[in-house]
Amino acid sequence: MPFALSAIMWYWLRQFEGMLLYLPFLAYALSHHIPYYTRCSNCGKRLFTYWRSMEGLCERCAREKLAFNAPGYYGLCAKIAPQRRPVGAGLQHCYRRVAKGVGHGMILDVGCGGGILLSMLEWPNRELHGIDLSPEITDRAKMYTYSVNLCVGDSRRMPFKSDAFDYLTCTELLEHIEGDNAIRECYRVLKPNGTALFVVPNGKGVLGKATTHVRFFSFKSFIAFLQEAGFEVVSSSKFGLYIPFITHSLEAISMAAGKALPLSSPLNISVPESLAASFFVECSKPSI
């Protein structure tokens, strides 16, 4: 009976975590006289400061804008994002793991964003390429990389020759894209025997339920997704310890306080799927 009761409480905690995590943030903001709400710049709906979209839209308006003009949406996010600051632990646990799997040769980062991973990969005997959806994003990446070839393009129709790259990285992108065109393009541009490194958020966790996500992968479904595209899985892991309620609550307080608190980001360790922030899979492209 105690076990069954604990399981039920755990289930409902996960279901309502998004609401519960706001309580410590609200308490901290009120006690320190920090503004805790704003309004959607499009419809005027009141938004909690911690939950609002980067560009100041409520979830409904953000989804509408994203569906109508994705490059414009992400370009706006890049324009108004604060100047680059040191990579937090929540991103380090992802990028460090990916960077360790990259060797020499032609390397492509699909969905390169602000160039954080590419800047970690800059090393002799590597020819780096990056592609992202809007010029505002690639312009931002140019500010923090030196010898990288950047281009604006859609990952579903990449302007690269087939069998062109020795290594391909794709982190926190595939959950934003419907269909299988992007993953098939990744397969097409990778050389036979080449290595592809993928990271997606745990679709069953709070971190995987962002406004801009259109796919919600489980570990099993993500592996199947890659295999259906033709990749052979070399290794895989569920990693980034995310403690329900605690991790996200501490992250909210850290944002309000302007400093990182212990356990406010996923820890870089392998964990069971129910506690994992991300899934990491290393693949190869079979030789013909």
DSSP string of 238-257?
Answer: EEEE--TTHHHHHHHHHHHH
Q: What is the pLDDT, as a whole number, of residue 239?
A: 85
Banded model confidence at residue 237, pLDDT cuts 50, 70, 90? very high
Are 182 and 174 in contact, with CB atoms under 8 Å apart?
Answer: yes
Report all structural domains of the chain as residue ranges with CATH numbers, in order of start: 89-284 (3.40.50.150)
Mean pLDDT of 128-148: 89
Instruction: Give first-to-last CA distance, the chain, whole Å.
Output: 56
Q: CB of 266 within 8 A of CB of 90?
A: yes
- Of the candidates 209, 212, 200, the one whose C-alpha atom is nearest the C-alpha of residue 240 is 200
Q: Using an 8 Å Cβ cutoff, are 106 and 129 in contact?
A: yes
Q: What is the tens place of the pLDDT at every residue in 102-113?
A: 999 999 999 998
Residue-wise DSSP of 172-192 = S-GGG--SSHHHHHHHHHEEE
pLDDT tens per residue, range 205-222: 767 777 778 899 999 999
pLDDT of residue 147: 86
**pLDDT classification of 126: cutoffs 50, 70, 90:** very high
Closest CA to 155 of 128, 177, 129: 177
Per-residue confidence (pLDDT) for residue 51, from 0 to 100: 47
pLDDT digits (tens, 9 = 90+) for 2-27: 655 555 554 445 555 555 556 666 67
Percent of the chain whose pLDDT exceeds 70: 64
Per-residue model confidence (pLDDT) at position 1: 46
The reported pLDDT for the residue numbered 86 is 42
With a cut of 90, say whether residue 231 has pLDDT above it. Answer: yes
Three-class SS of residue 134? coil
What does the pLDDT read at residue 275? 83
pLDDT greater at residue 166 or residue 67: 166
| pLDDT (0 to 100) of residue 10 | 47
On the question of pLDDT at 252 being above 80, the answer is: no
263 vs 128, higher pLDDT: 128
Question: Is the overall model pTM greater than 0.95, yes or no?
Answer: no
Q: Are strands 232-241 and 37-39 parallel, antiparallel or unpaired?
A: unpaired
